[in-house]
């Protein structure tokens, strides 16, 4: 694998980030970090979507300019991702000057080649979706099914993209590439939507939407959100209709777009059609994740259950975001909805990260210090009965990531932790030491520590801070590629001293972990 290009959806800056935004960014960051363990060149793009009527209206209500609103809220997203250790390569804003210029060129090219045309239209427009809706897609009460609001009747002369021109080729492509849309069950939804597809509006009259990118050849029209927003995946790389950059040539097509299921239609129908019109290759995969509910209820401002990404860190006094990252990433099977609750958060991270993984490392190193002064002797090295399962787990985890099954991969890692814990219990090194079977005792401890290095590598994308502490105590190089992992990772000689053994993760409800009780 020479390169891996991964993107998130760009977030609309009409408000501040919430836990649903965080879920997507955490998933994407974990996938990106995993592929750094398999590939030397990973490009991770995220950013913000900053044009449209909602921003125009929100800014007016707050008495500020749309750009001031965008600047303020884009920074909130950047701050949140920093707190969650989201390690992106580039953060694109659709108000970036170079993005706006390229979008204008894209629109102009499609207009000149006949893929865009001007047309008078009357339809049902949902401000929440930023698109026109088909009457048959509304609820029985005539509401948008996603926003539960009645769309407004809009009549204006706009530019339209010939989506119907690409209908048959899109259907053929999706059927011939079963892994294009992940999970695969979403592909049937898209194919059903394609049956009734119509040409789509790609501009709005300036009289209605001032806050947008101008159409070059028509000062009375603003480029409509989807050509603007979706193009970020190529403008960020320096795409140009005349002379694309070397960066674009190197990274495009994207290996995966990570998006929410609610915008799947735009990414699996509109975006591929735009790319076909531009004669560009399609992304390899579109991964549509589910939603996160709060205590089994959908997030809603009216219910007051919208959680900010950093509030969990603050409420539990977490020094780093690893526990939250791990919990969110393991909260739902591939493409399905997940749920957040404080009680489940505490229970899962304490069980998996503190009791199982952290305690296994701590007590194994402590016994190595107690019985052997922290030294691994050559005679402790030999055949490791855990090796086959551990190396098999590496391959299983890779396979899960290839299918974007992030929660499923985490369960495999914890299964390996459980196997190592069972090995310790079954072989009881404390009993072997008591019986003065010191070589056998040392072999058991070394076998576990060798496997802990593999666990450290596998859990790294989820918990980069915890694994950094683990790697220091194991003298393990975290930059080791997954394909280079063996079951023989611990070097002989002095490994650790008593004062260097530290818990890598304290129980969330422990007195030590609770800063307020420390005071």
Q: Which residues are catalytic?
A: 18, 21, 126, 129, 144, 147, 298, 301
Helix pair angle (322-329, 19-36), 10° resolution: 90
Residue 221 is given by DSSP the state E
Instruction: Give the alpha-carbon dihedral of 344, 348, 354, 360, to 10 degrees.
Output: 160
Q: In this structure, are residues 149 and 128 in contact, taking their beta carbons and an 8 Å threshold? A: yes
Specify the residue for token string 């050849």. Answer: 217
488 vs 454: CA distance, rounded Å:
10
- Cβ contacts of residue 429 below 8 Å, gap of 6+? 367, 371, 441, 444, 445
Residue 217's Cβ-side half-sphere holds a number of Cα atoms within 13 Å equal to 12
Among candidate residues 48, 35, 49, 45, the one with its CA nearest the CA of residue 2: 35
Number of H helices, E strands in the chain: 21, 18
**Helix or strand holding residue 224 (H, E):** none
Phi, psi of 232 (to 5 degrees): -60, -30
Closest to 145 (Cα-Cα) out of 153, 135, 154: 135
Judge residue 199's burial from the number of C-beta atoms within 10 Å of its C-beta, 0-12 exposed, 13-18 middle, 19 or more buried. Answer: middle
How distant is the alpha carbon of residue 501 from its chain centre?
Answer: 33
Q: Of 29, 41, 91, nearest to 329 (Cα)?
A: 29
């Amino acid at each position: 694998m020479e390169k891996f290009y991964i993107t998130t959806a760009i977030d609309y800056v009409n408000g501040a980030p919430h836990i649903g935004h965080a879920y997507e960014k955490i998933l994407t960051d974990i996938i990106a970090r995993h592929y750094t363990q398999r590939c030397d060149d990973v490009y991770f793009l995220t950013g913000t979507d900053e044009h449209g009527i909602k921003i125009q209206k929100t800014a007016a209500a707050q008495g500020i300019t749309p750009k001031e609103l965008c600047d303020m809220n884009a920074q909130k997203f950047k701050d949140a991702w920093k707190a969650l250790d989201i390690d992106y390569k580039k953060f694109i804003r659709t108000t970036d000057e170079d993005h706006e210029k390229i979008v204008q060129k894209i629109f102009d090219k499609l207009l000149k080649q006949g893929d865009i045309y001007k047309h008078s239209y009357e339809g049902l427009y949902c401000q929440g979706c930023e698109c026109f809706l088909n009457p048959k897609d509304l609820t029985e009460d005539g509401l948008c099914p996603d926003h539960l609001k009645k769309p407004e009747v809009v009549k204006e002369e706009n530019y339209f993209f010939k989506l119907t021109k690409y209908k048959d080729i899109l259907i053929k492509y999706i059927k011939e590439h079963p892994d294009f849309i992940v999970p695969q069950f979403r592909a049937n939804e898209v194919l059903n939507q394609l049956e009734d597809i119509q040409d789509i509006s790609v501009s709005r009259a300036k009289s209605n939407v001032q806050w947008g990118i101008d159409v070059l050849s028509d000062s009375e029209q603003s480029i409509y959100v989807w050509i603007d927003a979706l193009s970020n995946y190529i403008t960020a790389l320096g795409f140009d209709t005349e002379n694309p950059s070397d960066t674009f040539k190197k990274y495009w097509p994207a290996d995966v777009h990570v998006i929410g299921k609610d915008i799947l239609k735009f990414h699996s129908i509109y975006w591929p059609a735009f790319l076909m019109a531009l004669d560009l290759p399609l992304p390899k995969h579109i991964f549509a994740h589910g939603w996160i509910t709060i205590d089994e209820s959908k997030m809603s401002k009216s219910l007051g259950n919208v959680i900010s990404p950093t509030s969990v860190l603050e409420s539990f006094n977490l020094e780093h975001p690893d526990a939250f990252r791990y919990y969110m990433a393991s909260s739902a099977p591939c493409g399905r909805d997940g749920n957040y609750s404080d009680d489940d958060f505490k229970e899962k991270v304490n069980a998996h990260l503190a009791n199982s993984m952290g305690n296994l490392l701590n007590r194994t190193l402590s016994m190595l210090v107690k019985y052997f002064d922290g030294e691994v002797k050559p005679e402790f090295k030999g055949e490791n009965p855990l090796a086959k399962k551990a190396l098999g787990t590496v391959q299983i985890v890779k396979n899960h990531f290839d299918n974007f099954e992030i929660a499923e991969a985490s369960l495999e890692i914890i299964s390996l932790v459980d196997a190592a814990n069972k090995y310790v219990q079954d072989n009881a090194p404390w009993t072997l030491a008591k019986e003065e079977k010191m070589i056998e005792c040392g072999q058991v401890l070394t076998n576990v520590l060798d496997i802990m290095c593999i666990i450290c590598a596998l859990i790294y994308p989820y918990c980069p801070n915890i694994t950094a502490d683990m790697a220091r105590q194991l003298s393990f190089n975290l930059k080791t590629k997954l394909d280079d992992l063996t079951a023989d990772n611990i070097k002989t000689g002095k490994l650790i001293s008593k004062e260097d053994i530290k818990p890598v993760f304290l129980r969330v409800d422990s007195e030590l972990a609770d800063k307020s009780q420390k005071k």
